[in-house]
Structure 1
Amino acid sequence: MAEHPAYPVGLRLTGRRVVVLGGGQVAQRRLPALIAAGADIHLVSPEATPSVEAMADAGEITWTRRPYADGDLADAWYALIATGDTDANTRASAEAERHRVWCVRADDADAATAWTPATGTSEGVTVAVLTTSAKGRDPRHTAAIRDAVVEGLRDGTLVAPHHRTRTPGVALVGGGPGDPDLITVRGRRLLAEADVVIADRLGPRDLLAELPPHVEVIDAAKIPYGRFMAQEAINNALIEHAKQGKSVVRLKGGDPFVFGRGMEEAQALAEAGIACTVVPGISSSISVPGAAGIPVTHRGVAHEFTVVSGHVAPDDERSLVDWAALARLTGTLVVLMGVDKIGRIAETLVAHGKSPDTPVALVQEGTTAAQRRVDATLATVEETVVAQEVKPPAVIVIGEVVGVGPGTVEAPTE
């Protein structure tokens, strides 16, 4: 038998009896997949790990608390033998052979009638890697191959074209704060499958260079008609391309719903009857301070953090921010889009009771190779911004947490 390769097959175990012998680490690793497959799982073991016991307590498996006994594999479709008793494993394996039950044996793969492949999933596809024969079995090698394939599918570096018709639609993808490595796995995969990408100026621009030549890239920052018409033009572009049956990705900086007008775009798509998928992204409000060595919360220093938009000044009638209330908070205040308004913001906070000595940090081009951090206080921040020529995009952090970290963290390099 060992001279012939194993025959790969996918077992459909929904509602079918599966017997697991042994409640140790092997069972702990294998049980979740069997549960996900919908199997009727019967565990036979005098003891189990806390995680396995929790599965039994939750009703996901049935646990018989005793050692293996002859007859336990009767009526089973599949068995996993993973006890620490070699004699019991041998007897159970023999029973599986008598009852023609496909059996995986953790302690002796050569004595088993089935092997468990190294598996991983990506968007409805299961990748299973199996050594072709017992001779030369190398579980670490098969696991490494599995990891490489799954990672490639997830991050878009390994792209398999769809041969069935895809449902056209739009994905609002949060690209993160700027470093291309900080986009989510799902976001990167959707980018790799896109026909059209409509990209923000603050999105991870380096990812655009990885797109195939046929992908149409539209720079949202250059859509005409001015500031207030730009959003309407973006909405129209999303709708137009999706109605042409194309897969469209709206690549946005940070998270689509954190000052990103993502909901406006989702609403426009819904009104047009176009399917929309939202892929959350890492918001610059927490990731950029973290990259600069600033925790937005810290035990004994800040028990809350507040994120506000600074694109309109505190004395602007359009402002929806209660700056007086923010001045009374003892936690961290993170201001986005506020570089050119920071003088009036600082003045307002101080006027409502915030100490002029409150630390302030401005992190420009956070998470990119151009990242730099400039520190000040509420009393000095306006003149510091001018003197240091701080330019947008920059995240402003106000609060005692500014002094907690180790100082400026070295920016990523190419």
Structure 2
Amino acid sequence: MRLKLLLFMLILLPMATGVHAWLFCRDNLPVLTQVAMERLKAAGVRDPVVELRFFDLAVSGEAPDPAARQRALASMRTLVPLRLRPGAEHIVVRASLSGRLEGGTLHLSGWFPQGDEIKKLSRLLADLRPDLKLDTKELHTSAEVSWPEGVKLPLTTTGPMLKPLIDTLRVPAELHIRATEEAIVLSGLLPDITLKAELVAALAEAAAGRVVDPAGLKASPHVLPASFAKPHELAAFVGGYFRVPGPRSFDILSDGIPHLRGTATRQLESVWLALLRPVTGAAKVDVQFTLVPSVYHFPGYHPLSKISPEALKPLRESLHASTILFDAGSASLPPQEQTKLALLAPALLAAGPALGLVIGAHPDPGAPLAAEKALGQARAEAVLSFMVQQGVPAADISATVFDSVPAGSPSAPASPRSVELLVK
């Protein structure tokens, strides 16, 4: 009897164990699976997957960083009565990159696998946006990080890792040039290094002793194309525009509208606008010029005369105080003006043939231009003839008609019927 009971118990025990295992799987494994899922999500794991084989646990998913991965695995190891199987820890950390632009600094953050890709990325971004400072303090590396599928090294601007960041960093082109008596300073962003080189070369040729400073002008293929970025045409304009002395500026943005500020004669204004037309086409030009009669009236004009500075300064002052006046409609030199010129002759003779003079007549801006130019030329030649009669060498003296200046402007002559003598 006892033997039969023992045999019955031996047969019943496996059946009871199977029923218990079945009840455990039915009632407890789903609960433990849900607990594991919630712990993984709480640790920051994306798309978590939990697999249970009785008490053996396998997990997978993607953690945002190595610290989150370690938190997730630690939470699985404390989930009793389950056991995290060795080799079943398939939580990965994919490389990530994001950027935040604040002022002139690009702050990079994310995770890369161990290696030198951060240095390579820094060089790449420096080439694309040399105007930006790079902050990589929040960009880290770890052996637990792996590259996403489809990412090939080295990283490129068109690859899936960098393209979203690169697209946000593309900037419009702009150009700013400022000229003073001492320097010509360039700044802005250009889409072509060739354009920058041609501008610098054109300004160096036109500088006439001024320093050309291109440090603030950056060129990068990451800058958006611009309608004004025409190397030969733009270089021809800036070379002519900045060849003359005096403070002046040129600014143009992506809208293609140029802004000109400075001193000009009417003739030079026409020349500059003609040079600018191939660059900007039919775009409106914003011009704010102070008009003067000639380049000799430009602020900061330095005479080319070879005489000493000590002799030049008092001579220029004497000439400035000796404007020659004519009667209305006449090119005859009045007697009192002949006397004025005769008093100037000894100083001009003493300066010698290296002096160089220009005798310029001021036309009446309110009279017909052709008639005023003819009358002005006759007046200038009358003064020249008288000075030659006084013995002043005519080798480097020229007679011309200055550009008209609107009455009432700061550089307008005291009388439109006057002739001025200036050192070239």
Q: Structures share a fold, TM > 0.5?
A: no
TM-score (norm 2): 0.27
TM-score (norm 1): 0.28
Higher-Rg structure is 2
Greater helix content: 2
Greater strand content: 2
